[in-house]
Structure 1
Amino acid sequence: MPVILRYKGYALFFFSSEGEPREPMHVHVRGQGGEAKIWLEPEVKVARSRDIPAQTLRELVRLVRQQRGLFVYSWKDYFNE
């Protein structure tokens, strides 16, 4: 589970095994008792969320948009794409 970024008690990461065939690029978020999955392509948007307050989720989505290049680079580097 490579953690790419930590932010206000949340870890943003992807799993080392993302299924076969692998799902489109996304990042998982976990912390503060909640979790979410955020797609990176074709646009940054929430796939699902559980127990993350709406305001915090919006902040996390903004962060992922701002750092999208880092997440895409990390994904491609890790999975040799």
Structure 2
Amino acid sequence: MPKLLIYRAVWIFTIFGTDIFENRMHIHVGRKGTEKLCKIWLEPTVEIAKPGELSTSEQREVLQITELYKERLIQQWQQFLTGQKIEIIKVN
């Protein structure tokens, strides 16, 4: 479960190895220790697939962050898919 983005030490954006078999590119987002992660589609538009344990305001926040970093997250997804090393984006 590689980490893609750590945003202000609050939000952790990840992908799972089995994600490559789904028909749409997506990421999972949650706080440290969260069991049910939010699932966000990256294509064709950024949108919530499953809210996990996030409140409505938290969902809005992670959608905004995802939009901001969408291109870099997609690049990381493609690197993961081809077996390349992923560098974690850290935003303080």
Classify the TM-score, shorter chain. Answer: 0.7 to 0.9
TM-score, with length taken from structure 2: 0.76
TM-score, with length taken from structure 1: 0.85
What is the match of residue 47 of structure 1? 49
Which has a greater percent of strand? 1
Pick from 42, 51, 66: which aligns with 1:64?
A: 66
Q: How does 1:1-81 map to 2 (within 5 A)?
A: 1-8=1-8, 9-18=10-19, 22-23=21-22, 24-31=24-31, 33=34, 35-80=37-82
Structure 1 unaligned spans of 5+: none
Aligned residues: 79
Percentage of matched positions with identical amino acids: 27
Structure 2 unaligned spans of 5+: 83-92
When the two chains are superposed, the root-mean-square deviation of aligned CA atoms in Å is 1.9
Residue range with higher mean Cα deviation, 70-79 or 9-18 = 9-18
RCO (CA 8 Å, sep 6+): is it higher in 1 or 2?
Answer: 2
